[in-house]
Structure 1
Amino acid sequence: MSSEVTPATTRKLRVMSGMRVTGRLHIGHYWGTLQNWTKLQDEYECFFGAMDWHGMTTAYKSPKEIAPWTREMIAEFIAWGVDPEKVTLFVQSRVPEHLELFMIFANMIPMGWLERVNTWKDAIEEMKANDTHNLGRFAYPVLQAADIAIYRAQKVPVGADQVSHLELAREIVRRFNHLYKAKLPEMSPLLTEIPLVPGLDGRKMSKSYGNTLYLTEDSEKDVKKKVNLMVTDPARVRREDPGEPTKCSVYGYHKLYSTAEDLQWVEEGCRSAGIGCGDCKGRLAANIEKLSQGPREKKKELLNNPGLLDSIIDAGCEKARKEAQKTLEIVRSNMKW
């Protein structure tokens, strides 16, 4: 047996990503994040989290809802293919080191850095209207930087439109390294193609608009009902009128859920009026159900077996916390604190 040590250069790069706990997951979460996670878990050392402290920034009036949402989120991750044997799955609040590093970062970051954050400036009126104009939301980018740095992650999967958000986290780590002659990794984006998944009415998908299609909460009957309400090409008034698929919300969903053969059937049938909108929607609903049925059952099994789910969450949080504690040892050593 060889006694050679594996060179450090061959170790997998470390990735950190998480989802803010705000309620049940919809299909945008799968196509935008979960599908990508299932690919990354085979290529990188991954830390994936249910970020409940971030959820508290808007759900602070109803905190009792956060715990069940968090458990359901972890079950959803696993149901859709995230493997707890391959990745470290954790709950943010179960790793208190996130908050300790947040406080260290918060005390060294100039207020001006946060006041310039576009997502804060652009949403001020909305936050005031719904009573979420709070310190937690203002300091959100600092906690986000701590979330990544606590695992010494080198890569963060983001879409091209989110790169600027990650840059502030890099600046925070860079300032820490400069002040304390430290070498925490400066995280960089792992660019990911994130498809735009509109709501059922063509607007942005949002629970507040009531235009969401949930990943597993919707039954087969619910899916059919929601798909039947989707907006189609407005020029196609009668069944015999030809349509243009690219002007139809249903076609956009077909591109996510359907085969190349089905897409050709939709394109040709719609433009020639060979199929009706009801036919098109029926095929889409069937394809959505085909993808959702297995994860729906898997999630149900996990939630009906709380002991198993708890053991998975406990093991993941313990592993995450050990790694986070290592980071704080490094941080305190550099700070000579």
Structure 2
Amino acid sequence: MIKERVLTGDRVTGKLHLGHYVGSLSNRVALQNKYETFVLLADVQALTTHFDKKELIRRHLRDITLDYLSVGIHPDRTTIFVQSMVPEIAELTVLFSMFVTVNSLRHNPTIKAESKSAGLDDMYYGFLGYPVSQTADIAFCKASIVPVGDDQLPHLELSRKIVRRFNELYQPILVEPKPLVGDMPRLVGTDGSAKMSKSLGNAIELDSTTEEIAFKIRRAKTDPARVHKQDPGHPDICPIYAYHRAFRPQESAEIREGCERGSLGCSACKQLITQAVEQLIEPMRERRAYYASRPKAVDEILMTGTNRAREIARETMREVREAMCLNYFD
């Protein structure tokens, strides 16, 4: 029985954190047992906002690989590969760009939101074409399933249109991907004002020490309307309660009741979630330490995954060139 393929990944712009774990990483661990899973380290797409930070990208590529391995993404069940080392993806990006209009890219709501967040007054060509590059990431291995959050649905819908357009213009050889939308809520940052984000400095990284976890949770914002312990709380606006729902779901109803009644103080509430996060991250530390002490083994994992991705990419591009009549000397 042939398994469907899943394509997912991360831009190589910084270490991964609990928000990534809740939103995607834990799901990837489960998916690798059900689908043929590909995870890309998107170093080329990292250049859309970090083109002047080459050493950062180089360093974080291995940081993120360790994050993957530490959470339980297994190289025997998941193909982990480096985007820039599969040149066929870049070739497919160029070919797709020939029939994608600039207006369709400029009006993409995700591009608008991300360019505003990045503070780009003048949009770069690579940033504007991010959805085209993303489509090539998906199409080169003919992935049929792409896990996404709600904010990424416009990107994937454009990818679906690009694949359909290619199949209509040439031959129906590419697979139109389906979204797999997660049901986990976006994890709030420790500052309580936005999603957990590496760029906003409100994240708890997956390689955090015991002391770092305790410090960040102790300093995290809680219900601003609750001044005294006996005051009734409002858990739905408290980041710490969101962490209880994510990491202590069976006990979250009890936490809500204690907060609303004023019988559970914020300090005790934070201590409970600190223990839960520590229990989650402790086995990750052990796996990370194992691989961090074996850098050659990590390089071998990346090279093996990238070579496999290249083999698949070469075959896809052979079909693409034939469909587009670009196979002049075959």
Name the TM-score, length of structure 2 as normaliser. 0.92
- Taking a change above 3 Å as real, the CA distance of residues 132 and 297 of structure 1, as seen in their structure-2 partners, is farther
2:49 aligns to what? 58
Secondary structure at 1:207's aligned position in 2?
A: coil
The structural deviation recorded for 1:125 is: 5.2
Q: Deviations over 1:122-164 (max 9, x none)?
A: 455555x457721110111110000000001111112344323
CA RMSD of aligned residues (A): 1.9
The structural deviation recorded for 1:297 is: 2.4
Unmatched runs of 5 consecutive residues or more in structure 1: 1-9
Secondary structure at 2:270's aligned position in 1?
A: helix
Select 2:167's aligned residue among 169, 177, 183. 177
Secondary structure at 1:156's aligned position in 2?
A: strand
- The count of aligned residue pairs is 325
- Taking a change above 3 Å as real, the CA distance of residues 88 and 207 of structure 1, as seen in their structure-2 partners, is closer
Select 1:34's aligned residue among 25, 34, 46. 25
Aligned: 1:68 with 2:59: yes
Aligned: 1:274 with 2:258: no
Aligned pairs for 1:231-310 (under 5 A) are 231-260=221-250, 262-310=251-299
Partner Cα distance (1:274, 1:22) in 2: 42
2:184 aligns to what? 194
Aligned: 1:320 with 2:309: yes
- Taking a change above 3 Å as real, the CA distance of residues 120 and 239 of structure 1, as seen in their structure-2 partners, is closer
Partner Cα distance (1:206, 1:164) in 2: 21
- Taking a change above 3 Å as real, the CA distance of residues 122 and 270 of structure 1, as seen in their structure-2 partners, is closer
The structural deviation recorded for 1:19 is: 0.9
- 2:173/2:319 contact within 8 Å kept: no
- 1:243/1:271 contact within 8 Å kept: yes
1:191 partner letter = V
Secondary structure at 2:94's aligned position in 1?
A: helix
- Taking a change above 3 Å as real, the CA distance of residues 230 and 91 of structure 1, as seen in their structure-2 partners, is same
Aligned: 1:203 with 2:193: yes
Partner Cα distance (2:276, 2:263) in 1: 20
Unmatched runs of 5 consecutive residues or more in structure 2: none
Aligned pairs for 1:89-168 (under 5 A) are 89-124=80-115, 127=118, 129=119, 133-168=123-158
Secondary structure at 2:190's aligned position in 1?
A: coil
- Taking a change above 3 Å as real, the CA distance of residues 275 and 101 of structure 1, as seen in their structure-2 partners, is same
1:80 aligns to what? 71
1:3 aligns to what? none
2:290 partner letter = E
Select 2:322's aligned residue among 297, 309, 333. 333
Partner Cα distance (1:82, 1:15) in 2: 14
The structural deviation recorded for 1:242 is: 3.5
Aligned: 1:12 with 2:3: yes
Select 1:46's aligned residue among 27, 34, 37. 37
- 1:72/1:303 contact within 8 Å kept: no
2:13 aligns to what? 22
Partner Cα distance (1:74, 1:177) in 2: 34
The structural deviation recorded for 1:209 is: 2.8
Partner Cα distance (1:101, 1:25) in 2: 28
- Taking a change above 3 Å as real, the CA distance of residues 268 and 187 of structure 1, as seen in their structure-2 partners, is closer
- Taking a change above 3 Å as real, the CA distance of residues 182 and 130 of structure 1, as seen in their structure-2 partners, is closer
Name the TM-score, length of structure 1 as normaliser. 0.91
Secondary structure at 1:209's aligned position in 2?
A: coil
The structural deviation recorded for 1:170 is: 1.2
- 1:57/1:132 contact within 8 Å kept: no
- 1:24/1:73 contact within 8 Å kept: yes
Partner Cα distance (1:132, 1:214) in 2: 31
1:4 aligns to what? none
Partner Cα distance (2:180, 2:282) in 1: 30
- 2:11/2:43 contact within 8 Å kept: yes
- The range that moved more, 248-257 or 270-279, is 270-279
- 1:232/1:249 contact within 8 Å kept: yes
Partner Cα distance (2:81, 2:97) in 1: 23
1:103 partner letter = V
Q: Deviations over 1:274-311 (max 9, x none)?
A: 33211110111111000001112211321221011111
- The range that moved more, 89-98 or 188-197, is 188-197
Partner Cα distance (2:117, 2:240) in 1: 31
